A and B are shown apart, each in its own frame.
Chain A
Amino acid sequence: MIIATQGAGPVATIDVLKEAGVSFVELPVEYSAEGILNKIRLTGSALGQEAAAEALAVKVSADLDAAGAAAAAAAGGDPKRVLFVLTAMGGRIMAGGQNSAADAIIAMAGGVNAAQGFDGYKPMSAEAIATAKPDVVLMMTNGGDTETTDADLLAIPALALTPAARTGSVVRMNGQLLLGFGPRTAEGVRILSDALYGGAEG
């Protein structure tokens, strides 16, 4: 049996596998609490473990609701503007726009995505970043072979004048926790919310 995410490819390979009689389950990609529960239930039914999946779904759902409510409460009426930076190679910032996992998790953690006006992960114009005024820069830690240091990142002209650079606010998180949209997402929401609103505001 093969469990894949939506859009797994190449198409020809998938077709060969399906024709070979391998049972093939495709999980839809949707960046929301509903999407996570959906994936858990579909995986459960694919494995014939509906009851266990339902139990996990109920637990994850409650966990997500609690984490979301706590994050919203922590944000209060003053959500922070968060810029998700996928990579900053050579001073070129690739940011997470709408309809991305980054956009969804920022909202769930009580923040506002500072990168507005484009979908997915794209190189964002330096001037647009300077005027977007992010309070916090969010990055992933894993896969960081050529990791950009905080000092290098905040010295990029586009970021130099932003509130994030003034306060030195760079949050780095495990990529799977942040963008995976699985059972651990509630934990990711809590960590991100703590990083955004913890400490100073207590």
Chain B
Amino acid sequence: MTGAAHGFDRRARARRLTVLLALLLMVMSVASLGWGAAGTSVWGAVADLAAGRALSPLDRLVLFDIRLPRLFLCILVGAALAVSGALMQGLFRNPLADPGIVGVSAGASLAAITAIVLGGLLPATVLSFAGDYLVAIAAFLGGWASTLLLYRVATRGGQTSVATMLLAGIALTALAMALVGVLTYLADDRQLRDLTFWQMGSLAGATWPKVLAAAPIILTALAAAPLLARGLNGLALGEAAAGHIGIPVQRVKNMAILTVAAATGAAVAVSGGIGFVGIVVPHVLRLASGPDHHTLLPNAALLGASLLLAADMIARTVLAPAELPIGIVTAILGAPVFLWILLRRHGAMGM
């Protein structure tokens, strides 16, 4: 670690960035609450509450049962995806890694689409128990199952080979996508529409039960992530060097993989396939304030949440009264910005 002064500088800068990002998230949250197709104004509602007037039932519904759960779900999913991306890039020491790489997305997609197309074949007791959450439950279980499978494939004699995991992940994704193709073939018109829109992601239909189901899993994963910061910083030197400086390499790998599987699995279950957040957020932050995971991970959570809030505001108002799938918005907004940053900072790519 030469250039300590330089490193110090970036750390201070990253901390200032944390404060800025926290402020940004607050501004975005208020904006998101006040912005929507119904024209309900959050200021009007606050004024009403302050003056002791009762909110109109419609305002109450829009604010507390539609926008507020959606706001929380958006923050959770955005933070989960961005932090998962940062963890995967750290673990695989590969800038292209994203949560999809451990097979979570492929497994979750396959399971969700199976539930959409073949869900009706399940016994009635299972159907009535799962109710409307069948697809979400399937996505979560599918994500977990595929991650554990990949993990077993890549682990030999207690050592997990990240290279094997990466390659097996590509194979598993290809297989899952082929099976999705078969199911697409079997699906009727209505299921086809459901599964297409599911793959493009959406935070519509956010309800308090969904927030309460996803929150414990995602918050636990987010709380666990900073514990991995030192280990991931060490891993940047290579696995052998990390082992020599006293990093419990295998434990870091286990924890990183399980954390990502939990956070992404829960996020995908409630929101479908939302791409790009996991790649673009950590990279922008690395370019802005360096690759130290101690600050990168919390900053990624904050920026990921703000980015997804912005994308969701666009998704639910640009075509109002219809809604645009949010995955389209994140890709359309994210991809050009990302390219522009890469081209502008060509020299800084080495990190």
Interfacial residues, chain A to chain B (CB-CB below 8 A): 86-94, 97, 115-118, 121-132, 140, 143-146, 148-149, 152, 156-158, 160-161
Contact partners of B57 in chain A: CB under 8 A: 161
Q: Are B316 and A146 in contact (CB under 8 A)?
A: no
Q: Are B119 and A160 in contact (CB under 8 A)?
A: no
Contact partners of A140 in chain B: CB under 8 A: 190
Q: Are B193 and A128 in contact (CB under 8 A)?
A: no
Q: Are B120 and A91 in contact (CB under 8 A)?
A: no
Contact partners of B193 in chain A: CB under 8 A: 86-87, 94, 121
Known interface pairs A127-B38, A128-B320, A132-B321; A145-B119 also in contact (CB < 8 Å): yes
Q: Are A86 and B190 in contact (CB under 8 A)?
A: yes
Q: Are B119 and A146 in contact (CB under 8 A)?
A: yes
Bin chain B's interface residue count. Answer: 35 or more
| B202 CB-CB contact with A under 8 Å | yes
Q: Are A127 and B36 in contact (CB under 8 A)?
A: yes
Q: Are B121 and A124 in contact (CB under 8 A)?
A: no
The residue on A at minimum CB distance from B135 is A90
Contact partners of A146 in chain B: CB under 8 A: 115-116, 119-120, 127, 134
Known interface pairs A92-B197, A115-B321, A116-B321; A125-B132 also in contact (CB < 8 Å): no
Q: How far is the CB of B11 from chain A (nearest CB, A)?
A: 42
| B58 CB-CB contact with A under 8 Å | yes
| B65 CB-CB contact with A under 8 Å | yes
Q: Are B121 and A90 in contact (CB under 8 A)?
A: no
A128 to B118 CA separation, bound complex (whole angstroms): 31
| B48 CB-CB contact with A under 8 Å | no
Which of B190, B194, B204, B207 contacts A125, CB < 8 Å?
Answer: B204
Q: How far is the CB of A198 from chain B (nearest CB, A)?
A: 27
Known interface pairs A145-B119, A161-B57; A89-B194 also in contact (CB < 8 Å): yes
Q: How far is the CB of A60 from chain B (nearest CB, A)?
A: 25
Contact partners of A87 in chain B: CB under 8 A: 190, 193-194
Contact partners of B188 in chain A: CB under 8 A: 143
Known interface pairs A115-B321, A118-B319, A125-B322; A91-B204 also in contact (CB < 8 Å): yes
Contact partners of B325 in chain A: CB under 8 A: 123
Q: Are B205 and A92 in contact (CB under 8 A)?
A: yes
Which of B38, B189, B202, B205 contacts A128, CB < 8 Å?
Answer: B38
